[in-house]
Structure 1
Amino acid sequence: MIVVYGISEHLNPIKTSLSDAIHSSMLEVLGIPEGKRAHRFIPMDKSDFFYPSDRSEAYTVIEVNMMMGRQRETKKALIKSLFEVIEAKVGIDPTDVEITIKEQPAHCWGFRGMTGDEVQDLRYSVNV
């Protein structure tokens, strides 16, 4: 699951193109299926969104939540791909993008009525 935070006046007009950019990196680097898009956008009032003074109002925070298992190099490749694709497709300078990957053990995920460690039919590999 992806959670994206930004100033509402900047984030709202680019939600679709940003979602497309993020999803293309997830497909390419992690090999997730096309239909596995779970993005949440949290547009915030400027008065509620504090960011570093050397960033612009385009400053965008992206949290990538996923099950543990990906290799260090895979996660680094995802972060680098996100910077590149977001700049190319959405026009946000990498200086204005902050990305964090939050990993949880499979037993801490719940979907389709079971925990992640019980799932036997994922259509993608977590261990890449």
Structure 2
Amino acid sequence: MSQVKIYGVREYLLPIRNQLSEVIHSCVVEALQFPVDKRAHRFFYLENDDFFRPATASERYLILEFIMIEGRTVETKKKLIHLLYARICEQIGLAVTDLEICILESPAHNWGFRGMAGDEIKLSYTITI
């Protein structure tokens, strides 16, 4: 299980929302071996005055926050991060200084979906990769 929160300034994020979602999803499918039909993206649109950024970032600055069940190796998570930087920068035209990524993990028993706790569900994909 994994969910993605995407934060950015509304006027810059909204026009690229669909393309960005496609790029993020392609990275998740490849790095985390997710099924193609499994996607949970949430976009958080902020007003420019409400989104404080590092001095090195422009108004196009984005934060991607991945929330997932623990179990992936360090190498798998690094692969995801590297794919995201490569594809988002190339396909969306974002500078590396305008993208920050954070992966947050929690045990399967802390998740609830399909009426059960996450450690009770048989998933159609592998988490320990």
Q: TM-score, normalised by structure 2?
A: 0.96
Q: In the alignment, residue 72 of structure 2 is paired with which amino acid? A: R
Amino acid at match of 1:40: R
Tell me what 1:17 maps to.
19
Measured in 1, the distance between the counterparts of 2:21 and 2:48 equals 21
Distance 1:87 1:53 in 2: 19
CA–CA distance in structure 1, aligned partners of residues 37 and 95 of structure 2? 28
The corresponding residue for 2:126 is 125
Indicate the SS of the match to 2:12.
Answer: helix
TM-score (norm 1): 0.97
Task: Please state how far the C-alpha of 1:111 moved relative to its aligned partner.
Answer: 0.7
Query: C-alpha displacement at 1:108, in angstroms?
Result: 0.7
**CA deviation vs aligned residue, 1:28-87 (integer Å, no higher than 9, x gap):** 111100111100000100111001111101100000110000001100110011000111
Q: Which runs of 5 or more structure 1 residues have no equivalent in the other structure?
A: none
1:47-62 aligned at under 5 Å gives the runs 47-62=49-64
Where do residues 105-120 of structure 1 align in structure 2 (5 Å cutoff)?
105-120=107-122
- CA shift, 1:91, in A, is 1.0
* Structure 2 match to 1:90: 92
Aligned residues: 127
Structure 2: stretches of 5+ with no match in the other structure: none
Deviations 1:2-53 (A, max 9, x none): 0000000100000000000000000111110011110000010011100111
1:100 is aligned to 102
User: RMSD of the TM alignment (CA)?
Assistant: 0.6
Q: Paired residue for 1:75?
A: 77
